[in-house]
Structure formats: structure tokens, C-alpha cells
Structure 1
Amino acid sequence: MHIPGVFHLTEAHVFVVMTTQGRSSGQAFVEFPSPGDADHAMQLDRQMFGNRYVELFLSSPEEMQRATGGGYY
């Protein structure tokens, strides 16, 4: 995945939150190599990413673990 102006990520960096029915909830967590990279990515908040509008929020590994049930997809 390429985020314009940031860097390349692999699927291993993206964690999709799933519903109890096994479908995507529309939310995902992205692990960035550094806090500075995450801050830089925040410039894309409330922008179009391809054909999708995205809202971005900074979070912690603990929040990601809670949202994904400890299992990453």
C-alpha cells in the first residue's frame, strides 16, 4: 500500500477490525515505523484516499489490541 507522500507499507502493517459476522467494520489500524511517520500520515486526515474518504486518529497498541480482539487480520 502506498500512502502518497509518506512511504510504502505492507499488509503486515495494516490490521482490519472485523465484526462478529466476520466482515470488515470499516475501521483499520496501521502500524507506522515511527511516531514521526504517524504524525506525517495524519496530514491525510479527512481526505480522499483513492475513492474513499478517510478520517484518521492516533491510537496506541493497546487500543489496537482491544479493537481487534487481540487477533489481527
Structure 2
Amino acid sequence: MHIPGVFHLTEAHVFVVMTTQGRSSGQAFVEFPSPGDADHAMQLDRQMFGNRYVELFLSSAEEARRATSGSFF
């Protein structure tokens, strides 16, 4: 996955939150290589990413773990 002006990510860095029915909830967590890269990615907040509008929020590894526990691919 390439985020314009940021860097390349692998699927191992993207954690999609799933519903109890096994479908994507529309939320995902992305693990960035550094805090600076995460800050740089925040420039895409409230922008169009392809044909999708995205809202971004900084979160901790613990928040991501709780939200995706048993529900990511």
C-alpha cells in the first residue's frame, strides 16, 4: 500500500477492525515505522484517499490491540 507522500506499508502494518458478522467495520489501525511518520500521515486527515474520505486519529498500540483483539486480518 502506498500513501502519497508518506511511504510504503505492508499488510502486516494494517489491522482492519471486523464486526461480529466478520465484515469490515470501516475502521483500521496502521502501525507506522516511527512517530514522525505517523505525524506526517496525519496530513491526510479529512482528505480523499482514492474515492474514499478518511478521518485519521493518533492512537496507542494498546488501543489498537484492544480494538482489533481477535478481529483483524
TM class, shorter-length: over 0.9
Contact 1:65/1:71 (<8 A) preserved = no
Higher relative contact order (CA closer than 8 Å, sequence separation 6+): 2
Runs ≥4 in structure 1, deviation > 6 angstroms? Answer: none
- Counting aligned pairs with the same residue, the percent is 90
Question: In the aligned structure 1, how far is the partner of 2:68 from the partner of 2:48?
Answer: 25
**TM-score of the pair, normalised by structure 1:** 0.96
Number of aligned residue pairs: give it. Answer: 73
The Cα RMSD (Å) is: 1.0
**TM-score of the pair, normalised by structure 2:** 0.96
| Structure 2: runs of 5+ lacking an equivalent | none
Structure-2 change in CA distance of 1:23 and 1:71 (3 Å)? closer
